[in-house]
Structure 1
Amino acid sequence: MTQAWYAVLVGLVAAERLAELVIAQRNLAWSLARGGWEAGSAHYPFMVGLHTALLVGCVTEVWVADRAFPGVLGWTMLALVVASQALRWWCIRVLGHQWNTRIVRVPGLPPVTAGPYRVVAHPNYVAVVVEGFALPLVHGAWLTAAIFTALNTPLLTVRIRAEDEALRSARA
């Protein structure tokens, strides 16, 4: 895979993120119209910035450091990127109007326990973690993978705690 094709891949992931934001805005409006409320919003700008930096870092590191495509590792990481996208869209489909990039709870709606949520409490975050190391490693951007993972770990800890608290308070 050339650096140009890798940039196209990252661009496709960026376009997918923009599609997610459109869906999230639509779902936010739907939730707020039904009395929904947002939890844990303080970390959201940092999350957006970190995920944007991941995409920029992937392309920048590959071009500036002239990273070579790592062969079998690159193809394996590409397969993981595709799998993480599939998992993310499965989550979006299963959650329907309840899916969001923000933590939003609608009174009276029970937590979803179908699809991947039968097996894992936060499957969307599994997709985020996998994508966070796999996308950079598709083309050897190991520094971006390491930095994103190091910064994303405490962020996800805060986010999962906020989401779990919102789910608990919705049941109370």
Structure 2
Amino acid sequence: MWMPLILALVAIQRMGELGLARRNTTRLKADGGIEVGAGHYPLFVLLHASWLAVLVVLTPWTTVPNPWLIGVFVLLQLGRVWVIATLGRYWTTRIITVPGAPLVRRGPYRFVRHPNYWIASLELAVLPLAFGQIWIALVWSLANALLVRHRVRVEESALSERDGC
């Protein structure tokens, strides 16, 4: 009965993150933050919610997950926490830019741009694969790649104004 427990933990984690993101978004906007790319945000919510829902519906509850891939997923969660901790009050699921604020260049941002998108993309593939759901991994990874491609362009454009800060 690992499947329902793992997916419930993932759902609880995501709901907590959405609460934190909502709180940070409100604070950032109160500090003069400007949201860009709001039009595509609901597509990300739909993508991630449907990914988890399809996993729940199509995966037999008795499926024993691959322990190595669950281990990889746990490592990805540690990466997610690192990103959130590094950005602190600036972490949100939306694109909010605060004019004049310097770009974060510590933590995982020392090594790669947009580490949160890399981590989330890997999660969308790894968790379904851990339960033998290859088609879920492929379909949602492809949809995510298309959305992330657009989002990174929007975010890079918004951040380019602050790159020298």
Alignment match, 1:69: 64
1:135 paired with 2:127, answer yes
Matched, 1:108 2:103: no
- CA deviations over 1:64-116 (Å, ceiling 9, x no partner): xx88436xxx1121011111111111100000111100000111111100000
Report the TM-score, using the length of structure 2 for normalisation. 0.94
Partner of 1:92 in structure 2?
Answer: 84
Identity of aligned residues (%): 38
Equivalent residue number for residue 166 of structure 1 = 158
Stretches of structure 1 lacking an aligned partner (at least 5 in a row): none
Structure 2 residue runs without a partner (length 5+) = none
Structure 1: which 4+ aligned runs deviate by more than 2 Å?
A: 66-70, 169-172
| 2-structure distance, mates of 1:87, 1:45 | 24
Alpha-carbon distance change, 106 to 143 in structure 1, aligned in 2, over 3 angstroms: same
Whole-Å separation in 2 of the counterparts to 1:170 and 1:158 = 20
Which residue is 1:152 aligned to? 144
Root-mean-square deviation (CA), in Å?
1.5
Question: Is the 2:3–2:63 Cα contact (8 Å) retained in structure 1?
Answer: no
Find the aligned partners of 1:107 and 1:68 in 2 and give their Cα distance.
49
| Alignment partners' CA distance in 1, 2:151 and 2:44 | 9
Amino acid at match of 1:61: L
Does the 8 Å contact 1:67/1:140 carry over to 2? no
Distance 1:10 1:136 in 2: 10
1:20 maps to which of 11, 17, 25:
17
State how far apart, in whole Å, the 2-side matches of 1:142 and 1:127 are.
18
Work out the CA distance in 2 between the residues paired with 1:53 and 1:35.
Answer: 33
Matched residue count: 164
**Contact kept in structure 1, 2:2 and 2:64, CA below 8 Å:** no
